[in-house]
Structure 1
Amino acid sequence: MPESKTRKAAAEKKKTSDRAQLAQKRDETKRTVAAPGSRQWVPPTFITVGLLGVLWLVVYYITASVGVSIPVMTDLGGWNVLIGMGGMAAAFAIATLWK
């Protein structure tokens, strides 16, 4: 036996009502989900740390080639390369936190 127009209209109305309720629930859950902390600090931090690493190496190589002695850098000797490269590696590690 064929369905009546009233029954079809009621079924369509229920479908749209269910869809609206489902969409509303999705919106509510999106709002209530806590987002991770703000990551705005990441770009300035990794740029600063990377530039400090490069600057450390540049200053070390220039002062070593000219013969100028900076008390801390002269005492560290070859460890200056490790410090500069470590700063650049730390910058890349910090950059992975950027979203």
Structure 2
Amino acid sequence: MPKSKPPRERAAYTPPPRSKAKVPNPPWFVPVMVGLMLAGLIWIVLTYLFQARYPIPGIGQYNLAIGFALLLVGFGMTTRWR
């Protein structure tokens, strides 16, 4: 009967090096984030108050899209906030 091989030696587990500490956001980050969210909210409110004639005349309901885009950019920035 053939002899069995001895068990293989495994290298000890070495965890990957830790990443650097998280760098805080620059001081302008939070005011821009909040400003974009407020600008989007105000844009949408104005669109409804003026029945899509303002803030930009002539584009109609696309004013809502602009307001929602401003809101989404502001909320997207919250994911990077530290």
- Give the shorter-chain TM-score range: 0.5 to 0.7
Shift of 1:37: 6.4
Work out which of the two has the higher radius of gyration on C-alpha atoms and give 1 or 2: 1
| TM-score with structure 2 setting the length | 0.62
Q: Which has the higher helix share?
A: 1
Cα RMSD for the two superposed structures: 2.4
Q: How many residues of Structure 1 are paired with residues of Structure 2 in the alignment?
A: 63
Structure 1 moving runs of 4+ over 4 Å: none
| TM-score with structure 1 setting the length | 0.53
Partners of 1:35 and 1:56 in 2: CA distance: 34
Where does structure 2 lack aligned partners over 5 or more consecutive residues?
1-19
Matched, 1:73 2:56: yes
Partners of 2:41 and 2:21 in 1: CA distance: 38
Where does structure 1 lack aligned partners over 5 or more consecutive residues?
1-32
Identity of aligned residues (%): 24
